[in-house]
Amino acid sequence: MTACAPHAPTVGGWNSLDAFDNKQQLDGLEATARDGGGEAAKGKPGFSGPYHHPAAGWGAAMSVGRILLRERTLLDGPRAIFRMNHEGKGFDCPGCAWPDDTKGLHLDICENGIKHVTWEMTHKRVGREFFAEHSVEELSGWSEFELENKGRLTEPMAYDAATDHYVPITWDDAFELIGRSLRELDDPNQASFYTSGRLGNEATFLYQLLARELGTNNLPDCSNMCHEASGRALKAALGTGKGTVDLADWEATDALFIMGVNAASNAPRMLTALAEAHRRGAQIVHINPLVEAAASRTIVPHDVLDMAVFRSTKTSTLNLQPRIGGDMALMRGMAKAILEMSATDAKALDKEFIERHTAGFEEYRAVCEATPWDDIERQSGLSRADVLKAARVYRNADRSIISWCLGITQHEHGVDTIREIVNVLLLRGNLGREGAGPSPVRGHSNVQGNRTCGIDHRPAEQFLARLDEVCGIESPRGHGLDTVRTIEAMHRGDVKVFVGMGGNFALAAPDTPYTQAGLRNCELTVHVSTKLNRSHLVHGRQALILPCLGRTEKDQQAKGLQSTSVEDSMSMVHLSVGMKRPASPQLRSEPAIIAGIAKAALPGSKTPWDWYVGDYDRIRDTMSKVLDGFEDFNRRVRLPLGFRLKQPARELVFGTPSGKAGFSAAPLPDVIPASGTIALGTMRSHDQWNTTIYSDNDRYRGIKNLRTLVFMNAQDMADRGIKELDPVDIVSTAKDGSVRSLEGYLAVPYDIPRSCAAGYMPEMNVLCAIGDYSTQSDQPIMKHLKVTITRSA
């Protein structure tokens, strides 16, 4: 509480949690908890039409109440929430990677962050009795919700093939089993080390050190499915794989273009930034085939007055609904319009910026001129008039930010599209100055930090050379395996040991049956986890579940209480300190587990693993010698807001071959589905966190008790004789011609362009063939599956 006391007057509404002090309300909430969320969510599937209320507000408050009740964290929950995202004194929200409020004016939280934290803080436990009672075969029949809802894992468990049960194993025996399996490999490249993006920076550094000391760069991560396209495009264009703006830029900009992100569900703290931008008169353009909840109004959840009087703020000045994959054509159209304007409008282009800081402008101008408006309209699915509206907003803004997430990256042409976004920014010099630049919204809370700290299957020579020099190892130089290639190698028997540092590989990866067959083909699968999930049940010949501390929990080591650092979407690195007693005394921290594995796998290692684990400052000291921008790490990370990693591109220093920011001049791809086929995008509901499903509801899309659905254009439904909530079969055709299908999904008529449809991951991963990854980014094409949809027989 002390952390936020100075700001108490601005705190209110549901944040003050007054809502929970009233017995009557509590009873009401308890009743809703029983009917609304979770176990009871087996009611009749329902679609109540699109959501017309502001995002966040009281709907969010009720949802939070339900979750706190369900996890029985009514007392601890609020206490923890007050300590979240608070200037080095609390823990970083393990939810999304949206940056923390820099002014400390608000309680920096959101509905989904609270769900996420309370899900981790639950009082429920999965102990050895649970595993003795339920065989793996039996658990395999449980839903994702039922598995995770059993609570926190409490002790290391090993799979016993004779009984088909997980049985307790000591930490030492578990490490010895992993160590032996790794030592016995013919080649270290027969091991693969996956990272899900919430691993803290210190553990990340040790994890990549373990892999490289062992001799492999097989470091697949969730980024391979998430923002690989952003990294590659920005690196090629600007010489840096990250965005260049921070929250202060969001607060200063004149125009925000929000592309392919469902902010109200997946980055809800962005709502505050959007509302503030609107209040001060900035333009906000949403570009999304679906009009998501963030694209209309929000009640700023921090604002007591707004909550009390239901006052909402607009969060949009223009909504454009391109077809799935139509964003590059839209960006091309905006660029073409700006170039056309420049004939009569001397300020449409920033000629001086283009001259001094960019390369390739003339080729780009030529390609824009050569792209006919007809193509732009057909490929974007937008009229020329609509494209011009966006172009005018862009022209009239002195400073613009273009922000994007998975709706842009998970496509065949993701890299070209992001380069086109950069092209548009460069035309008006929207780079290297306040309030302007590219701003990818990252997913997991530390996915960006993972890459910064060495989780990269294609590491740069400069990084490896420094690592070797400082740590006294000899890193392998060959490229390692990413997520898709790890799965393929498992099938061939080339990867025999798989370690999952968090995450849920069996469900998150594409082509579910193929991925799961790969995991089953491994000699050993190891999962470091907080909760039971599908990946524990789809296992190798030998399997371990190693339970770890969550971010909310105290991490006590030889030299006392430890903190860990994370990097948000906008390159701010700051500390996170747990505050809760661990869910079980047997839990270990991720650094300690990595060190345990390393000591067993590398008996001759000169790395002082235990010494590092005793005091994470020592890991940070080593990191400061290896990683660019981490100088004086221990001091700077303890500053109230941490520190911002330098972005050379922001200073207009470009690590590109030309030393300039590069325009790209790619031709427009053809993204129009063949006649009769539909482009299907997979996405998240409001009540899920990747593979963690909190309930079967999707409040902002009007969905209740239903996940096996497909949102369709009403005319596309009528053409196929499909009515609301009719069962349909969905058949996808992969690049190699192979087909996959899902049957009996319910069709939901929705405001989405013709020949476009959407449904939920991870259920729909079945439809995404392993070979259907982008040749530009190697990312699975999870937003553009080619499908046919017919009424079920």
Ligand X SMILES: Nc1nc2c(c(=O)[nH]1)N[C@H]1C(S)=C(S)[C@@H](COP(=O)(O)OP(=O)(O)OC[C@H]3O[C@@H](n4cnc5c(=O)[nH]c(N)nc54)[C@H](O)[C@@H]3O)O[C@H]1N2
Nearest distance from C-beta of residue 530 to ligand X, angstroms: 4
Between the alpha carbon of residue 687 and those of residues 66, 119, 261, 300, the distances in Å are: 12, 12, 16, 20
Judged by CB under 6 A, does residue 682 bind ligand X?
yes
* Contacts of ligand X in 595-654 (CB under 6 A): none
Q: Which is nearer to ligand X, 357 or 784 (CB)?
A: 784
Contact of 614 with 558, CB cutoff 8 Å = yes
Window of 307-315, 318-326, 419-427, 609-617 that interacts with ligand X by CB under 6 A: 318-326
Nearest distance from C-beta of residue 70 to Mo ion, angstroms: 25
Between the alpha carbon of residue 618 and those of residues 615, 624, 625, the distances in Å are: 6, 10, 11
Helix axes 57-70, 23-36, angle to 10 degrees: 80
Choose, by CB under 6 A, the member of 57, 502, 540, 582 that binds ligand X. Answer: 502
Window of 14-22, 360-368, 403-411, 601-609 that interacts with ligand X by CB under 6 A: 403-411
Q: Which is nearer to ligand X, 358 or 776 (CB)?
A: 776
Contact of 46 with 703, CB cutoff 8 Å = yes
| Pairing mode of beta strands 283-287, 255-259 | parallel
Q: Which is nearer to ligand X, 574 or 660 (CB)?
A: 574
Q: Which is nearer to ligand X, 218 or 529 (CB)?
A: 529
3-state secondary structure of 777: coil
Q: In what order do the strands lie in the sheet with 564-567?
A: 564-567, 572-576, 643-644
The answer to whether the peptide bond before residue 188 is cis (omega within 30 degrees of 0) is no
In this structure, the number of other CB atoms found within 10 A of the CB of residue 657 comes to: 10
Choose, by CB under 6 A, the member of 238, 252, 287, 734 that binds ligand X. Answer: 287
Nearest distance from C-beta of residue 242 to ligand X, angstroms: 15
The residues with which 759 forms a beta bridge, in sequence order, are: 682
Judged by CB under 6 A, does residue 261 bind ligand X?
yes
Helix axes 111-121, 57-70, angle to 10 degrees: 0
* Contacts of ligand X in 186-205 (CB under 6 A): 196, 198
| Pairing mode of beta strands 400-404, 437-440 | parallel
Choose, by CB under 6 A, the member of 282, 401, 508, 789 that binds ligand X. Answer: 508
Judged by CB under 5 A, does residue 443 bind Mo ion?
yes
Residues touching ligand X: how many (CB under 6 A)?
Answer: 63
In this structure, the number of other CB atoms found within 10 A of the CB of residue 456 comes to: 22
- The contact pattern for ligand X, residues 523-552, with x = CB under 6 A and - = no contact, is -----xxxx-x--------------x-xx-
Nearest distance from C-beta of residue 451 to Mo ion, angstroms: 12
Q: Which is nearer to ligand X, 76 or 590 (CB)?
A: 590
Q: Which is nearer to ligand X, 507 or 600 (CB)?
A: 507
Which of ligand X, Mo ion, none lies near 684, with the C-beta cut-off 5 to 8 A by kind?
ligand X
Our CA dihedral for 698, 119, 550, 582, rounded to 10 degrees, sits at 180
CA distance 264 to 58: 14
Nearest distance from C-beta of residue 168 to ligand X, angstroms: 18
Nearest distance from C-beta of residue 551 to ligand X, angstroms: 6
Window of 49-57, 157-165, 380-388, 399-407 that interacts with ligand X by CB under 6 A: 399-407
One DSSP character per residue, 493-562 reads T---EEEEESS-HHHHSSSHHHHHHHHHTSSEEEEEESB--HHHHS--SEEEEEEB--TTB-EEETTEEE
Of 120, 201, 218, 189, which is closest to residue 529 (Cα–Cα)? 120
Which of Mo ion, ligand X, none lies near 768, with the C-beta cut-off 5 to 8 A by kind?
ligand X
Choose, by CB under 6 A, the member of 298, 688, 713, 732 that binds ligand X. Answer: 688
Judged by CB under 6 A, does residue 503 bind ligand X?
yes
Q: Which is nearer to Mo ion, 225 or 742 (CB)?
A: 225
Nearest distance from C-beta of residue 790 to Mo ion, angstroms: 32
Judged by CB under 6 A, does residue 222 bind ligand X?
yes
CA distance 188 to 481: 12
Q: Which is nearer to Mo ion, 122 or 777 (CB)?
A: 777
Q: Which is nearer to ligand X, 109 or 354 (CB)?
A: 109
Joined together, the tokens standing for residue 40 give 């009871």
| Pairing mode of beta strands 709-712, 739-749 | parallel
Joined together, the tokens standing for residue 614 give 């005793």
Judged by CB under 6 A, does residue 689 bind ligand X?
yes
Judged by CB under 6 A, does residue 84 bind ligand X?
no
Q: Which is nearer to ligand X, 37 or 239 (CB)?
A: 37
Q: Is 545 left (phi over 0), alpha (psi -120 to 50) or beta?
A: beta
Window of 238-246, 367-375, 400-408, 421-429 that interacts with ligand X by CB under 6 A: 400-408
* Contacts of Mo ion in 7-26 (CB under 5 A): none
Q: Is 768 left (phi over 0), alpha (psi -120 to 50) or beta?
A: beta
How many residues belong to the chain? Answer: 793
Which of Mo ion, ligand X, none lies near 713, with the C-beta cut-off 5 to 8 A by kind?
none
Contact of 376 with 387, CB cutoff 8 Å = yes
* Contacts of ligand X in 137-166 (CB under 6 A): 148
CA distance 196 to 483: 11
CA distance 571 to 647: 8
Judged by CB under 5 A, does residue 226 bind Mo ion?
yes
| Residue-wise burial string across 468-489, b where 16 or more C-beta atoms lie within 10 A, e elsewhere | eeebebebbeeebbbbbbbbbb
Nearest distance from C-beta of residue 295 to Mo ion, angstroms: 21
Nearest distance from C-beta of residue 505 to ligand X, angstroms: 6
Q: Which is nearer to ligand X, 3 or 782 (CB)?
A: 782
- Which residues bind to Mo ion, rule: CB under 5 A? 226, 443
Binding residues (CB under 6 A) for ligand X: these are 95-96, 112, 148, 196, 198, 222, 225-226, 259-262, 265-267, 287-290, 292, 322, 324-325, 327, 405-408, 410, 443-444, 501-505, 508, 528-531, 533, 548, 550-551, 590, 681-684, 688-692, 761-762, 764-765, 768, 782-783
